[in-house]
Amino acid sequence: MGVVAWLKSLFVLQLLIGFVFVVSGLIINFIQLCTCVLWPFNKQLYRKINTRLSYSLWSQLVMLLEWWSSTECTLYTDQATVDKFGKEHVIIILNHNYEIDFLCGWTMCERYGVLGSSKVLAKHELLKVPLIGWTWYFLEIVFCKRKWEEDRETVFSGLNRLRDYPECMWFLLYCEGTRFTENKHQISMQVAESKGLPKLKYHLLPRTKGFTTTMQCLKGTVKAVYDVTLNFKDKQNPTLLGIVNGKKYKADMSIRRFPVEEIPDDEKECAIWLHKLYQEKDALQEHYEKEGRYPGPTIKPKRRVWTLLNFLFWATLLLSPLINFAWDVFVSGSPLLIIGFMIFLVVASVAVRRLIGVTEVKKTGSSYGNIEAKKEN
């Protein structure tokens, strides 16, 4: 193990990075709360401010991927498609196989200037998660309970509200509804068989309601659908904890652009189009399994320095007083202060670990196979 790798593995450094993320996130959430007074008077100003505040938080995670772990991201697409990145409202359809698939998506958003304005159709439970859910709330993220009878009004109103969003918006959809596991895949394919749909080898059966509703509500706003299929070299199974430990991964992303004019307006036809898309995604994964790459030309977008500068700003602002305080505590010789500070460190480490735990595949649930899941499709 080299010196740099050893330093990245040190718990104290990881804890300091976590401290910067958590405390800066709380500060950002407080500022976001204060901006709510702008909404009745100038909704677009509120949105522009919150886009940049959200960027300041999420770019710290992107910094971990790009600068701390030095993970590489290669795009398999054509230059004409790349030239449109960051210049139009789009819907992103991404496979949901890995703990850091969202982070790979975010690094592409950052490199093309749309990280702060990126959106997602998120599960309602995340609204209660500090920093993540709170920031998304101020960013007008659409939350759903995955029960259409309860979600209908919330989803329609939330999506319609985004029609006049002033920043270029990438709206991410995980149409599979949950992360891929072998058990979920078996149940999902049973559902596919019962509905007479072609079975998929590398994906779960897509839930069409979220996609067709998003297309319906954002028609006239979004210009295209980007189909993104993610995989990792050498059958790597990356985790956020691995990123925190400085482990380097190599991500490959196949990106295809579909103008909205090519996608049927009719809900049933649109659902059929989505199922066909996932059959094509499955074929792409099959190709990757055999060849170790996707077909087509490759492009490696350069990482930008802004994520690193943003983190260094927050680290300078927050770590200097923390280090001074820690020094004063230990030189004071007070057992009470020292014990209190150690308890604070333990609580902080547990909080950071719980935030990381939100991304872990083994802790994600699925309703595949139950009555509600069947109703949603």
pLDDT for position 146: 72
Q: pLDDT class for 1, splitting at 50, 70, 90?
A: low
Helix, strand or coil, per DSSP, at residue 295: coil
pLDDT for position 68: 94
Helix, strand or coil, per DSSP, at residue 230: strand
Helix, strand or coil, per DSSP, at residue 337: helix
Q: Is the pLDDT of residue 228 over 80?
A: yes
3-306: CATH topology is Glycerol-3-phosphate (1)-acyltransferase (3.40.1130)
- Higher pLDDT: 370 or 335? It is 335
CA separation for the pair 59, 377 (Å, rounded):
35
CA distances from 219 to 33, 115, 186 (A): 31, 22, 34
Of the candidates 127, 204, 172, 220, the residue with the CA atom closest to the CA atom of residue 376: 204
* H/E stretch holding 173: strand 170-173
| Residue 77 CB-density burial (10 A; 0-12 exposed, 13-18 middle, 19+ buried) | buried
Q: Are 93 and 226 in contact (CB under 8 A)?
A: yes
pLDDT for position 359: 54
Q: Are 91 and 214 in contact (CB under 8 A)?
A: yes
Q: Average model confidence (pLDDT) for the chain?
A: 88
Total number of residues shown for the chain? 377
Please write the tens of the pLDDT for every residue from 13-46.
888 898 899 899 999 999 999 999 999 999 999 9
Query: How is residue 127 annotated by DSSP?
Result: G
Give the number of other CB atoms < 10 A from CB of residue 365. 10
CA atoms within 13 A on the CB side of 300: 6
* Annotated domain spans of the chain: 3-306, 311-353
Distance of CA 353 to the CA centre of its chain: 18
- What interhelical angle do 43-63 and 306-332 show, nearest 10? 70
What are the helix (H) ranges across the chain?
A: 3-9, 11-35, 43-63, 79-82, 101-111, 132-138, 148-161, 182-194, 208-217, 240-244, 267-291, 306-332, 335-357, 371-376
Please write the tens of the pLDDT for every residue from 113-156.
999 999 988 888 888 888 888 999 999 998 887 777 778 888 89
Please write the tens of the pLDDT for every residue from 340-366.
877 877 776 676 666 666 555 455 444
C-alpha torsion angle, residues 45, 49, 50, 55 (rounded to 10): 140
pLDDT for position 178: 85
CA separation for the pair 218, 237 (Å, rounded):
34
- pTM here is 0.88
* Token digits of residue 45: 């100003």
Q: pLDDT class for 375, splitting at 50, 70, 90?
A: very low
CA separation for the pair 370, 377 (Å, rounded):
12
pLDDT for position 305: 96
Please write the tens of the pLDDT for every residue from 183-219.
999 999 999 999 888 899 999 999 999 899 999 999 8
| Residue 13 CB-density burial (10 A; 0-12 exposed, 13-18 middle, 19+ buried) | middle
Q: Is the pLDDT of residue 369 over 70?
A: no
Q: What secondary structure does DSSP assign to 248-281, as a single string? A: --EEEEEEEEEEGGGS-SSHHHHHHHHHHHHHHH
pLDDT for position 330: 78
Give the number of other CB atoms < 10 A from CB of residue 254. 23
Please write the tens of the pLDDT for every residue from 230-266.
999 988 889 888 998 999 999 999 999 999 999 999 9
pLDDT for position 72: 93
